[in-house]
Structure 1
Amino acid sequence: MTVYIDPPAWPGHGLLWSHLISDVSYDELHAFAGRLDVPRRAFERDHYDIPSHRYADVVAAGAVEVSSREVVWLLLASGLRRRKGREQGLSGAARTRTSPRPHSLG
């Protein structure tokens, strides 16, 4: 099992974040994150967001340190890259619609 993590360089919510990925499968990634008690809500499309204060723990558990560019390259090469706005191949309108349009009461 090999998972990878980039340096905590991505700002958000007053913290810096890393991306934790697998180049094998999402199952492998979820299993690794689960062993570290990383909440599933931290998973976004193709990676887990890891706060900087957890970085050393994740590396100590076996994640390989790579650059942010390498994270993208590994995801693309493995076919596991999921770009923003491209979830399940739906357009933005289809992806955000949660209910049918209301009927006219005309």
Structure 2
Amino acid sequence: MAVYVDDAIWNFAGRKWCHLMADSEEELHRFAARLGVHRSSYQGPPKTAAPHYDITGFERDRAIRMGALAVSRAEILAVYRGVRRPGEKQRRQLV
């Protein structure tokens, strides 16, 4: 199991933001709590397609120091879709 953060690329409220995701929702919530991100910041179904937290660039740096994997925008989209982990070839066949 892993936790991922993409590049902090979009601006909002004077800060740069990115996504925090994990291989499971449980892991995502545990990591976010350790990071100090409030559960009220969680975004997931049915509101959004993929469970995630939007975090600041500052929180991203802390998350990486805590063990989250820094991934590209393309890699985090693959995690969103559940098709493959970053750096892996497709791990399951889509029917």
Pairing 1:22-101 to 2, within 5 Å after superposition = 22=22, 24-45=23-44, 46-77=51-82
Pairwise CA distance, 1:28: 0.8
Query: How many correspondences in the alignment?
Result: 77
Structure 1 spans left out of the alignment, 5+ residues: 79-106
**Structure 2: how far apart are the matches of 1:68 and 1:42?**
21
Considering fraction of residues, name the structure with more helix: 1
Are the counterparts in 1 of residues 35 and 59 from structure 2 also a CA contact under 8 Å? Answer: no
Question: Which aligned segments of 4 or more residues in structure 1 are displaced greater than 3 angstroms?
Answer: none
Pairwise CA distance, 1:41: 2.1
Alignment RMSD: 1.3
Q: Secondary structure at the match of 1:38?
A: coil
- Which one has a bigger Cα radius of gyration? 1
TM superposition score normalised by structure 2: 0.74
Structure 2 spans left out of the alignment, 5+ residues: 45-50, 84-95
Deviations 1:47-106 (A, max 9, x none): 11111122211100000000112111112125xxxxxxxxxxxxxxxxxxxxxxxxxxxx
TM superposition score normalised by structure 1: 0.67
